[in-house]
């Protein structure tokens, strides 16, 4: 593991420790490297909307957490400025969703990250894109 990937892992651990939202929702940090994160979430009963499928908000939240772990992986405190999500197919009760986020462009204090949420069979649930903004300060 490169030094910067080791740092990314330490940052993710410190963030997750304090990140009640992601933790209590049941997210699992599968992998974090410099500029990249992969998280998982199993769709539970309490995440279903009136159409009996997973509320888009939970799908966004998973993708947004992956984005947060990816854009903070360099140990600079970084926040989401703007995000967009395109929904493809529904996620259902019991589906294990995998969200990835990958840095595409980083320049000055802003960056663009691409994300996907997929089922374990590889089918696409949503495409995500986030614009990040680097604050002052570090995570660890």
Q: Is residue 24 near its own copies by the rule CB under 8 A?
A: yes
Q: Is residue 92 near its own copies by the rule CB under 8 A?
A: no
Angle (nearest 5°) at CA 23 between 98 and 38: 25
Q: Is residue 48 near its own copies by the rule CB under 8 A?
A: yes
Radius of gyration of the chain (CA): 15
Stretch that binds its own copies, among 2-10, 20-28, 31-39, 95-103 (CB under 8 A): 20-28
β-pair type (124-138, 28-33): unpaired
Stretch that binds its own copies, among 1-9, 32-40, 41-49, 94-102 (CB under 8 A): 41-49
**How far is the C-alpha of 20 from the C-alpha of 124, rounded, in Å?**
27
Residue 53, judged by CB atoms within 10 A of its CB (0-12, 13-18, 19+), counts as: middle
For its own copies, the binding residues (CB under 8 A) are 14-22, 24, 45-52, 54-58, 60-62, 64-65, 68, 77, 79-89, 104-105, 107-110, 112, 114, 124, 127, 129, 131, 133, 139
């Amino acid at each position: 593991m490169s030094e910067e990937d080791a740092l990314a892992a330490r940052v993710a651990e410190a963030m997750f420790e304090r990140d009640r939202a992601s933790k209590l929702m049941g997210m699992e940090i599968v992998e974090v490297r410099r500029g990249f994160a992969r998280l998982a979430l199993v769709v539970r009963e309490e995440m279903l909307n009136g159409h009996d499928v997973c509320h888009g908000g939970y799908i966004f939240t998973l993708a947004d957490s992956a984005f947060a772990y990816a854009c903070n992986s360099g140990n600079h405190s970084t926040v989401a400025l703007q995000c967009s999500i395109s929904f493809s197919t529904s996620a259902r009760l019991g589906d294990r969703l995998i969200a990835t986020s990958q840095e595409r462009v980083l320049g000055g204090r802003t960056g663009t990250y691409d994300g996907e949420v997929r089922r374990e069979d590889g089918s696409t649930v949503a495409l995500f894109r986030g614009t990040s903004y680097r604050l002052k300060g570090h995570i660890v």
